[in-house]
Chains A and B, each alone.
Chain A
Amino acid sequence: MVVDANSFFVSCERLFRPDLAGKPVVVLSSNDGCVVARSAEAKKLGIGMGEPYFKIEGLIKREKVSWFSSNFALYMNISLRLSDFINRQAGRFPVWQYSVDEWFIKVSDLDTSKNLAKEIINGASELGIPVAIGIAPTKTLAKAAIWRAKETGKGFYVATDLKTINNLLKIIPVGDVWGIGFKTQKKLKSTRLKTAHQLISLPKLELAKLSRQDVVFHKTIAELKGEACFDDERTKQHQQSMAMTRTFGSSTTKLIELEGIIAEFTTQLSRRMRQKKLLGGGAVLFIRRLDKHNLVEEIAYTRSYRLNRHYMAKRLLFERPTNETITILADLNRALKSLYRPGFSYDKAGVTMLNLIPQNFAPQPLHEQLFSSSHYQDHNKRVAIWQTSSERGQERLLKPATELLKGETWRPQKKWSSGLNPASLFGLPQVK
């Protein structure tokens, strides 16, 4: 069974703007670049996912569409509430949160599923966030069921018997099947396959021709045939990498500011790694350079993509797996200095931690035992400091000093954010 919050970001915004119920609403991405969420009414107006803001500006104003900058603090808060609620309702049945607004629940029998679905739909609508639910034997089929639930507008669809499943597969377009990506879709276009049913009816040889190595594709087909392949084991596997990327609100030419930004990324990523008890084996750092460095203002103004933008990246390996902020930052800073050229503007940066391994799996490097150098002792001392500060709930107070160097201009622009954050005393909704 799968639970999916419809147009989730829009629902979150509407929660504190009940007057927008039933009216077209869109949410824009970081820096207000393009559409990342649309209400059903906005979809009907033909506003596409990912459409750049400047393209739909006219339509938005003509059709009185309301628009918001994305406010992730709010969305995460509401997602957490929904998640707590779903987990509590599910009780002994395992819940797998797939994304900020999707949950899979493995339920033993159909009657229990139906009751649980009703409880969840009611509870979520009491909170004010509508959800749809699909019930089927496999995850892919459940996602197909939820597609139908949304199509029919009922918000609930059960496809557990063969006949219903077959009928469902006969109407769902191949492109709407969960797990069929853009690339596969392109390939499928040439075959003139339309529905999922046509796809799974292909002989094995044909299927193999379509994609020889794509494991997900073949698992998807098996799942459509009712064989559960995307088991929860996948979620138990630890995360392999972890990234933080931002396009700046306005670009910068200063190394010192870039250093500050990278420091903040590092602080956040290493904190997350410590929370998840992971160590990173290396990282990739990138910065994006604008080749006409005097056109900064023009970019902010038109958001044109005509300018040449160069990604410059460096991959580095840590001396040993770690999640210690200062150690990682020292490496990243060296990499940053090697990428940076003065006189250019930079408008985007990102850090990805690679080769993550669970803390308890980390091999003790031999040479550390042989030469317990002061270098390693310092590292271990700092690890201990992070440990105690997090035990005391003071981890956020500790920051590398470079983090203070960054100005605030790089922060993504969010001109139209509601600014609400139920989790902060400064972001609470106000009441007269």
Chain B
Amino acid sequence: MKKSLNKPLKPLEPKVQIVGSVQAGFPIHSDGYAGEELNLSLDKLLIKRPDSTFLMRVTGLSMKNVGIFEGDLVVVERARKAKNGDIVICYLDQGFNLKRLYLKDGSATLLSEDGQMPPISIGKSEDDQIWGVVTAVIRQLHS
């Protein structure tokens, strides 16, 4: 056993194959894992309520200071109640906007995170609406 760990069995074969061989591995005790997932699912990790969760594409830079950039995908939970400090999708002037929600004394303000755009207080127009809460940001580096 010791020998096989220190020395490759067949020196001519690439190392990768030997590392993966049964002799170098640990025995797997599966008893304790019965019924559990065999792999991690990104879907389950990022989406708690699939029926009311939507993906949206970010087009602006108003949240760049918190690391959300143009081209990112955001996971939006429509049915989630927005809390103070959440990053939310709000519907303003016939378009979706990504903002930080600031709730104080019963009034709601939307803050950009780019150090430039002024805060927007909402509720003036009937059409203003918090559409959903951003629960994750996805940035794909390679496809």
Contacts and interface: CB of A to CB of B under 8 A. Distances in A.
27 contacts: A18-B127, A18-B131, A21-B127, A82-B51, A127-B51, A127-B78, A422-B54, A422-B55, A428-B54, A428-B56, A428-B73, A429-B54, A429-B57, A430-B56, A430-B57, A430-B58, A430-B59, A431-B56, A431-B60, A431-B74, A431-B96, A432-B58, A432-B59, A432-B62, A432-B95, A432-B97, A432-B98
Of A19, A128, A429, A432, most buried by chain B (CB within 10 Å of CB) is A432
B50 to A, nearest CB: 7
State the main secondary structure of chain B at its contact with A.
Answer: strand
Given A18-B127, A21-B127, A81-B50, 9 more contacts: A18-B131, A19-B91, A126-B52, A126-B78, A429-B57, A430-B56, A430-B59, A432-B59, A432-B96
Interface string B80-92: 0000000001010
Interface string A394-432: 000000000000000000000000000010000011111
Nearest to A80: B51
Nearest to B97: A432
A176 interface: no
Contacts of A430: 56-59, 96
Of A19, A127, A430, A431, most buried by chain B (CB within 10 Å of CB) is A431
A93 interface: no
Nearest to A126: B79
Nearest to B58: A431
A431 B97 CA distance: 5
A82 B52 CA distance: 9
Interface in A36-56: none
Nearest to B94: A19
A297 interface: no
Interface string A271-315: 000000000000000000000000000000000000000000000
A428 B127 CA distance: 21
Given A18-B129, A19-B127, A431-B89, A81 B51 contact: yes
Contacts of A422: 54-55
Interface of B: 50-52, 54-60, 62, 73-74, 78-79, 89, 91, 94-98, 127, 129, 131
A431 B51 CA distance: 20
Interface of A: 17-19, 21, 81-82, 84-85, 123, 126-128, 422, 428-432
A204 B79 CA distance: 52
A190 B64 CA distance: 70
Contacts of B91: 18-19
B52 A127 contact: yes
B72 to A, nearest CB: 10
Contacts of B60: 431-432
A279 to B, nearest CB: 34
B132 to A, nearest CB: 9
A431 B127 contact: no
Contacts of B129: 18
A431 B99 CA distance: 10
Contacts of A17: 94
* Pairs of residues from A and B, 7 with the lowest C-beta to C-beta distance, nearest first: A126-B79, A19-B127, A432-B60, A431-B96, A85-B51, A81-B51, A431-B56
A32 B79 CA distance: 33
Contacts of A127: 51-52, 78-79
A416 to B, nearest CB: 15
B74 to A, nearest CB: 7
Contacts of A431: 56-60, 74, 89, 96-98
Contacts of A429: 54, 56-57, 96
